[in-house]
Amino acid sequence: MNRRVTFALFLGIALIGGRALSVETVPKEIRDAAQIFTEGMIVVKGIGAAPTDRPLSSAQKEALALRAAKIVALRELGEIAGGIRVAGDSSIADAAAASDQIRGTMDAFIRGAEVIHESYDDGREKAVVYVRLSLNGPNSLVENLLPKIMQQKVANLPAAPAYKPPPAEAPHSAPQPVDSLIIDATGKNFRPALINRIVAANGSVLFEPSKIAPEILAKKGCGDYTSDVGKAKAILASHGANNPMVVTIAAVQRSTDAQVGESDAATIFAANQRTNFLESAKVVFVL
Q: Give per-residue pLDDT as tens, 109-136.
A: 898 899 999 999 999 999 999 999 999 8
- Specify the pLDDT at position 282: 97
Whether the per-residue pLDDT at 243 is higher than 90: the answer is: yes
Cβ neighbours, 10 Å, residue 274: 12
CB 86 within 8 Å of CB 94 = yes
Q: Taking residues 14-24, what's their average pLDDT?
A: 42
| pLDDT band at residue 174 using 50, 70 and 90 as cut-offs | low
Same domain as 139, residue 74:
yes
Q: State the residue range of the domain holding 22.
A: 3-152
Sheet architecture: strand order including 283-286: 224-226, 283-286, 180-184, 244-248
Same domain as 192, residue 101:
no
Domain boundary among 104, 120, 152: 152
- Number of folded domains that form the chain: 2
Same domain as 174, residue 39:
no
Same domain as 114, residue 191:
no
- Give the model confidence (pLDDT) of 46-78 as tens digits: 999 999 999 999 999 999 999 999 999 999 999
Same domain as 142, residue 19:
yes
- Specify the pLDDT at position 17: 41
- Specify the pLDDT at position 158: 80
Round to whole Å and give the CA distance between 92 and 102. Answer: 9
Answer whether residue 159 is part of any domain.
Answer: no
Same domain as 145, residue 9:
yes
- Specify the pLDDT at position 46: 98
| pTM, 2 dp | 0.86
Same domain as 178, residue 215:
yes
Answer whether residue 161 is part of any domain.
Answer: no
Answer whether residue 158 is part of any domain.
Answer: no
| pLDDT band at residue 169 using 50, 70 and 90 as cut-offs | low
